[in-house]
């Protein structure tokens, strides 16, 4: 790895995990000292940029770095993805959120859908270190989008892969694989499901009749990430909670997923417009003039 020195917020290592999934290792000594599995950071990578929450997918306390893995889904994540090793991020705030409850539960199943695999990786790693028999089910739409397979192999007792189109692993959804395990008599003491809301809902509906406690990590729109704006409110049973300070993990059997999905689509039109104008601007600019958040690059 190149040595760029260690001013906080510098990207010390960057790698594309697939066409639209990027990994950044960021110098962030204070966050690296404090962060625990299940926590996230809020990043604003440039002065006029939006604040976005991203999970701390890994960390190295000795080097003082944290790792984020993100999918380029809209304007901010696509712009972030243009940054290279050595670039400075303007703000990295964290660690935020309540850490995952890590104990020796027995047999645990960690289910990650799409980029949710990056979010569940540190949780699976910590559960394994705590002495659990750790099974992971990782799924994506297609082979290209399966990430961290080797890392999961290192830290799990069993790993199952699924793709929607059957291009890798078993054809189908992660919930189909979980159903197969349950029907084969696998006794599961606790499960985690992290990915698109529709996937977490399917897993929670599957495990409910079996009484398998299922923890999900919710991804509502967040702004401050510290409990002030109310943007991330979610309904858990009869209670309204703020995912940034009360979560992001909650009992999947109590989450109102329909409300979450409705709230996630509130700004679809604006998000689409922002992405279109961003891509239009990028097409107009010569490659060597495309702005990055770090003018020193
Ligand atoms: C606690 C938490 C942890 C997350 N961890 C990861 C991660 O590790 N990797 C990853 O790829 N993604 C993660 N996300 C989702 C990520 O924050 C969004 O994909 C990102 O904000 C999209 O921004 P955009 O401008 O590129 O896309 P947009 O076009 O603005 O939006 C695309 C989608 O992202 C959602 N979104 C937009 N803005 C926000 C926001 N400020 N907060 C949350 N969701 C938003 C929208 O509802 C929409 O569904 C996490 C979200 C939360 C709440
Ligand atoms: S992001 Fe503002 S209250 Fe949670």
> Ligand 1 centroid vs 144 CA: distance in angstroms?
21
Ligand 2 within 6 A of CB of 223 = yes
Q: Which residue has the higher pLDDT, 48 or 204?
A: 204
pLDDT for the residue numbered 55 = 95
**Partner residues linked to 136 by β-bridges:** 110, 159
Ligand 2 within 6 A of CB of 221 = no
Q: Report the candidate in 59, 80, 69, 65 with the shortest Cα–Cα distance to residue 27.
A: 65
Nearest CA to ligand 2 atom 2: 229
Pocket test for ligand 2, best of 97, 219, 242 (most atoms within 8 A of CB): 242
The DSSP element (H or E) to which 18 belongs, if any, is strand 11-18
Neighbours of 278 (CB within 10 A): 15
Radius of gyration of the chain (CA): 19
What percent of the chain clears pLDDT 90, i.e. is strictly above it? 83
Q: What is the mean pLDDT of residues 248-263?
A: 95
- Structure letter (DSSP) for residue 179: H
| Residue appearing with tokens 């992660």 | 174
C-alpha dihedral, 23 to 28 to 31 to 35, nearest 10°: 40
Is residue 271 very low, low, confident or very high in pLDDT (cuts 50, 70, 90)? confident
Mean pLDDT of the chain: 91
> Ligand 2 centroid vs 290 CA: distance in angstroms?
32
Q: Report the candidate in 56, 57, 47, 55 with the shortest Cα–Cα distance to residue 79.
A: 47
> Ligand 1 centroid vs 111 CA: distance in angstroms?
19
Q: What is the mean pLDDT of residues 128-141?
A: 96
Q: Which ligand has the minimum distance to the alpha carbon of residue 241?
A: 2
Burial 205-227 (b: 16+ CB within 10 A, else e): ebbeeeebebbbbbbbebbbbee
Say which range, 157-161, 171-175, 263-267, has the weakest mean pLDDT. 263-267
Nearest CA to ligand 1 atom 25: 76
**Partner residues linked to 241 by β-bridges:** 234
Q: CB neighbours of 92 closer than 8 A, spacing ≥ 6?
A: 8, 9, 26, 28, 31, 41, 42, 43
pLDDT for the residue numbered 292 = 42
Is residue 291 very low, low, confident or very high in pLDDT (cuts 50, 70, 90)? very low
What pairing do the DSSP bridges indicate for beta strands 158-163 and 214-217? unpaired
pLDDT for the residue numbered 286 = 58
What pairing do the DSSP bridges indicate for beta strands 21-27 and 11-18? antiparallel
pLDDT for the residue numbered 287 = 55
Over 90: is that where the pLDDT of 285 sits?
Answer: no
Neighbours of 182 (CB within 10 A): 18
pLDDT for the residue numbered 235 = 96
Instruction: Please list every protein residue whose CB sits less than 6 Å from any atom of ligand 1.
Output: 40, 50, 52-55, 69-71, 73-77, 115, 118-119, 219-222, 248, 264, 271, 275
User: What are the tens digits of pLDDT across the range 45-83?
Assistant: 999 889 999 999 999 999 999 999 999 999 999 999 999
Q: What is the mean pLDDT of residues 6-20?
A: 89
Over 60: is that where the pLDDT of 289 sits?
Answer: no
Q: Which ligand has the minimum distance to the alpha carbon of residue 116?
A: 1
User: What are the tens digits of pLDDT across the range 80-119?
Assistant: 999 999 999 999 999 999 999 999 999 999 999 999 999 9
> Ligand 2 centroid vs 1 CA: distance in angstroms?
36
Is residue 295 very low, low, confident or very high in pLDDT (cuts 50, 70, 90)? very low
**Six token digits for residue 159:** 């790993």
Distance between CA atoms of residues 170 and 165, nearest Å: 9
Over 60: is that where the pLDDT of 293 sits?
Answer: no
Over 70: is that where the pLDDT of 25 sits?
Answer: yes
Nearest CA to ligand 2 atom 3: 227
Is the entire prediction scored with pTM above 0.85?
yes
> Ligand 2 centroid vs 116 CA: distance in angstroms?
21
Pocket test for ligand 1, best of 36, 53, 123, 148 (most atoms within 8 A of CB): 53
Residue-range domains of the chain with CATH: 11-97 (2.40.30.10), 100-217 (3.40.50.80), 221-283 (no CATH)
pLDDT for the residue numbered 240 = 96
Task: List alpha helices for 66-211, DSSP H.
Answer: 75-80, 116-129, 149-155, 174-183, 197-207
**Distance from CA of residue 227 to its chain's centroid?**
20
Contact assessment for residue 127 and residue 110, using Cβ atoms and an 8 Å cutoff: yes
The DSSP element (H or E) to which 283 belongs, if any, is helix 268-284
pLDDT for the residue numbered 214 = 98
Is residue 3 very low, low, confident or very high in pLDDT (cuts 50, 70, 90)? very low
């Amino acid at each position: 790895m190149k040595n760029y020195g260690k001013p906080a917020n510098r990207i010390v290592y960057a790698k594309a995990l697939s066409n639209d999934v990027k990994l950044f290792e960021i110098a962030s000594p204070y966050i690296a000292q404090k962060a625990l599995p299940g926590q996230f950071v809020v990043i604003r990578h440039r002065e006029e940029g939006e604040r976005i929450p991203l999970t701390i997918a890994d960390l190295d306390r000795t080097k003082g770095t944290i790792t984020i893995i993100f999918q380029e889904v809209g304007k901010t994540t696509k712009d972030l993805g243009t940054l290279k090793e050595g670039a400075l991020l303007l703000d990295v705030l964290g660690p935020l959120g309540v850490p995952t409850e890590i104990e020796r539960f027995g047999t645990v199943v960690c289910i990650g859908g799409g980029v949710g695999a990056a979010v569940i990786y540190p949780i699976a790693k910590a559960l394994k270190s705590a002495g659990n028999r750790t099974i992971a089910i990782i799924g994506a739409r297609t082979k290209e989008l399966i990430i961290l397979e080797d890392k999961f192999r290192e830290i799990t007792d069993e790993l199952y892969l699924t793709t929607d189109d059957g291009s890798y692993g078993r054809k189908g959804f992660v919930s189909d694989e979980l159903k197969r395990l349950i029907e084969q008599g696998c006794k599961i003491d606790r499960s985690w499901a992290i990915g698109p809301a529709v996937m977490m809902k399917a897993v929670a509906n599957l495990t409910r009749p079996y009484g398998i406690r299922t923890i999900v990590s919710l991804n509502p729109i967040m702004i401050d990430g510290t409990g002030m704006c109310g943007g991330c409110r979610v309904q858990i049973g009869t209670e309204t909670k703020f995912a940034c300070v009360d979560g992001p993990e909650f009992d999947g059997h109590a989450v109102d997923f329909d409300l979450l999905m409705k709230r996630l689509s509130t700004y679809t039109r604006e998000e689409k417009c922002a992405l279109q104008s961003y891509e239009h601007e990028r097409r107009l600019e010569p490659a060597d003039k495309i702005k990055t958040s770090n003018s020193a690059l």
